Amino acid sequence: MKKDIHIPTVEEVYIAIVKEWDEEFLAQNWNSYIINDKDIPIEMVLVVTKGYDEDRKTSLLRHGIGTVPAKSSAKIEMIQEALLGMNNEFVVTFFADSKLYDKKYLFRKHTINENAFQDLPVMNQRGVLVK
């Protein structure tokens, strides 16, 4: 029975963390984004986030993003500096081509830093990317 279930592979959808200026708080903040590099929109996007390490864990947060158009991105949440020393997990669920997709993205502790920046697809910015 399990062998008959086809689970589609998520491709061209990424999570990125960017350090950017926040006009409201007048400070540099770390923000997470979902990037849709597909040629079609992804719909009913739900992102569940949490941070954890050996001794601590954060609350589970759920973000209903809605539709992310083709070749675009959407902000998920701000990440506090204190969480950069923890594993940060993003579980993304969405529909595309009438199929349900699900993928877990993990930023291991201390991997979110300016030394790990790279050019991000679609966003014309630099940041840390997990595929």
How far CA 9 is from CA of 19, 88, 99, 100, 102, in Å, comes to: 29, 22, 11, 10, 8
The confidence band for 17, taking pLDDT boundaries of 50, 70 and 90, is very high
pLDDT for 7? 77
Which of 93, 85, 88 is CA-nearest to residue 77? 88
pLDDT for 1? 65
pLDDT tens by residue, 20-39:
998 887 889 999 999 999 99
Residue 3 has pLDDT above 90, yes or no: no
pLDDT tens by residue, 94-126:
999 999 999 999 999 999 999 999 999 999 999
User: How far apart (Å, rounded) are the C-alpha atoms in residues 55 and 73?
Assistant: 33
User: How far apart (Å, rounded) are the C-alpha atoms in residues 52 and 66?
Assistant: 26
User: How far apart (Å, rounded) are the C-alpha atoms in residues 56 and 58?
Assistant: 7
DSSP 53: -
User: Are the C-beta atoms of 77 and 98 separated by less than 8 Å?
Assistant: no
pLDDT for 5? 73
Which residues, including other chains, have CB under 8 Å from residue 28's CB and lie 6 or more apart? 19, 20, 21, 22
Q: Report domain extents, the chain.
A: 2-116
Residue 93 has pLDDT above 90, yes or no: yes
pLDDT tens by residue, 37-83:
999 999 999 999 999 999 999 999 999 999 999 999 999 999 999 89
User: How far apart (Å, rounded) are the C-alpha atoms in residues 63 and 126?
Assistant: 23
Looking at domain 2-116, its CATH class is mainly beta
